[in-house]
Structure 1
């Protein structure tokens, strides 16, 4: 199974150029950033890979800005435009480590060249004692992340493990549950059941692609994780630190239907933006949900 992700937060400024002391930016870059910011604020969308980015940037969904349609900073391309009458900035992230599963411990998307076995691995069973079957690797401990809120005391850390989405956004998402999604790739290949949009109580992020069923079951039993991805935590922690609201829209599918899942994620996102048109994004803050 594979998880798709679209995340958006409320952006007041395009601040990415301030990150990285070795980054080289020209005066023209700063001029473009200032021009982009002058037309803001924006909703920011973070997308994990190219095959999910493509349907989002399709001309039927995304209208590029006439002033600055995109800006390339530190190896990232930030697309500036409009989706469903909402000003947006779209950027792609990427994938990280993966947990193998299945025949020959195949890695997810290994056949596409996205992952490799060249670097190495750890086989946990090799580190168990024969007498007691105890694992010599000890335990894996889950800990909160450190954040430094913009309104906090400088250099005084705070801890965050669970981050609340915006209650306004979360309640608004209830209206998505009756949205019709696409069921077929073509006239002969369709899903066995009709896809639907549901709200989840608790979404989780892992430091690896949780393609292993046993690990996913562990996280569900331990933390009641309904869905697991790799991207949400980073955006959630930045949103919490900056005091901005956010929500996660994810699509779940088998690999054979990954392109269909990406299209359905865009359908859900576009409809959500239409619902947002009736609500001002300025002033929406973090809520306890």
Structure 2
């Protein structure tokens, strides 16, 4: 083969080689930029994870001015969410707003664990109040949560599974009572399956109540008696000073509860004081990763127990501010570098 033909063959070979290599390497190079940033951020860890839900809660949190952004790496944008890096009371934190509902809550929490060096989660937001002994504006720090949205929905005369925790006979709520047949039948409340890094792979524990971290809940009792806000503005105020209560129960489901009968059922059956759409998912993900988790919720409405419109539109901002203030104080008293587990 002549030298000119050899050079032509080499050129063709190199052209084909680069055509194959460049497309394969281009994607990893783009992905490597956030990965390199994450490595730099994690070298400064561990971090405390802070997770809230929707914009009014985020606005109230940043209005406290307790969060100080990291000047070198203030945030990372990943999968449509912004993870903010900073400090609160000399503790390194990663803050994110997860979005409404259990899927968003669970996905964001697991993403936080997968991407960052996290040693604990503080979740906070507003919630509906199912407990008549509590009031709008109060802050609750529950000791445990139930996922009250896992149902066996049966025909009117259907037989409930023996492992269901409780049941709701929809026909018993007919008005006038005992007239006609309610075709919606009955609902049985089922257990959750908890998978954990502390147990055998693919072996789930059947649970109905998932526990927040006992040590952190005990520590949070130091916040009882703290000063909370009473007024939305100069013209809208609560009749009494809000209070902070530790150690009650909460429920979570993908349901915005604004129904008096269902509110009463949840309290009478499960003795829950707050109802929300994210907390149990975040607690479960934390437990699955063997990590400390605590939840703080400001009560914005009566979950249907009120007359007229839902109070979230009037007192939601006040509840968000009160829970944000409680979060700031909790982080302040939290020891540094808490171990996982």
Alignment pair present for 1:28 and 2:28:
no
Unaligned 5+ segments in structure 2 are 1-28, 103-169, 301-311
Q: Do 2:64 and 2:325's aligned partners in 1 also have CA atoms closer than 8 Å? A: no
Hey, what does 1:147 align to over in structure 2?
194
Range with bigger deviation, 39-48 or 144-153: 144-153
Hey, what does 1:214 align to over in structure 2?
261
- For residue 49 of structure 2, the aligned residue among 25, 44, 52 is 44
Q: Do 2:46 and 2:337's aligned partners in 1 also have CA atoms closer than 8 Å? A: no
Structure 2 Cα separation of the partners of residues 68 and 203 of structure 1: 36
Give the TM-score normalised by the residue count of structure 2: 0.62
Deviation at 1:77, TM superposition (A): 1.0
Residues 153-206 of structure 1 deviation map (CA, whole Å, 9 limit, x = unaligned): 222222222111111111111111121112223333322211111124211112
Hey, what does 1:238 align to over in structure 2?
285
Q: Do 1:96 and 1:209's aligned partners in 2 also have CA atoms closer than 8 Å? A: no
Structure 2 Cα separation of the partners of residues 213 and 262 of structure 1: 23
Hey, what does 1:89 align to over in structure 2?
94
Hey, what does 1:172 align to over in structure 2?
219
**Higher share of residues assigned strand:** 2
Range with bigger deviation, 237-246 or 193-202: 193-202
Structure 1 Cα separation of the partners of residues 48 and 82 of structure 2: 16
Give the TM-score normalised by the residue count of structure 1: 0.73
Q: Do 2:64 and 2:324's aligned partners in 1 also have CA atoms closer than 8 Å? A: no
Unaligned 5+ segments in structure 1 are 1-23, 98-122
For residues 9-28 of structure 1, what are the structure 2 equivalents within 5 Å? 26-28=31-33
Deviation at 1:59, TM superposition (A): 7.0
Alignment pair present for 1:160 and 2:207:
yes
Range with bigger deviation, 45-54 or 55-64: 55-64
Range with bigger deviation, 223-232 or 181-190: 181-190
For residues 54-65 of structure 1, what are the structure 2 equivalents within 5 Å? 54-58=59-63, 60-65=65-70
**SS of structure 2 residue aligned to 1:81:** strand
Q: Do 1:61 and 1:270's aligned partners in 2 also have CA atoms closer than 8 Å? A: yes
Hey, what does 1:78 align to over in structure 2?
83
Q: 1:27 to 1:58 in 2, by over 3 A?
A: farther
Alignment pair present for 1:283 and 2:339:
yes
**SS of structure 1 residue aligned to 2:288:** helix
Hey, what does 2:294 align to over in structure 1?
247
Hey, what does 1:262 align to over in structure 2?
320
**Higher share of residues assigned helix:** 2
Q: Do 1:204 and 1:227's aligned partners in 2 also have CA atoms closer than 8 Å? A: yes
Structure 2 Cα separation of the partners of residues 87 and 215 of structure 1: 41
For residues 77-156 of structure 1, what are the structure 2 equivalents within 5 Å? 77-96=82-101, 133-156=180-203
Q: Do 2:217 and 2:247's aligned partners in 1 also have CA atoms closer than 8 Å? A: no
Deviation at 1:124, TM superposition (A): 8.7
Q: Which has the larger radius of gyration?
A: 2
Structure 2 Cα separation of the partners of residues 200 and 282 of structure 1: 21
For the aligned residue pairs, the C-alpha RMSD in angstroms reads 2.7
Deviation at 1:207, TM superposition (A): 2.3
**SS of structure 1 residue aligned to 2:228:** coil
- For residue 274 of structure 1, the aligned residue among 332, 335, 339 is 332
Q: 1:216 to 1:131 in 2, by over 3 A?
A: closer
Range with bigger deviation, 150-159 or 85-94: 150-159
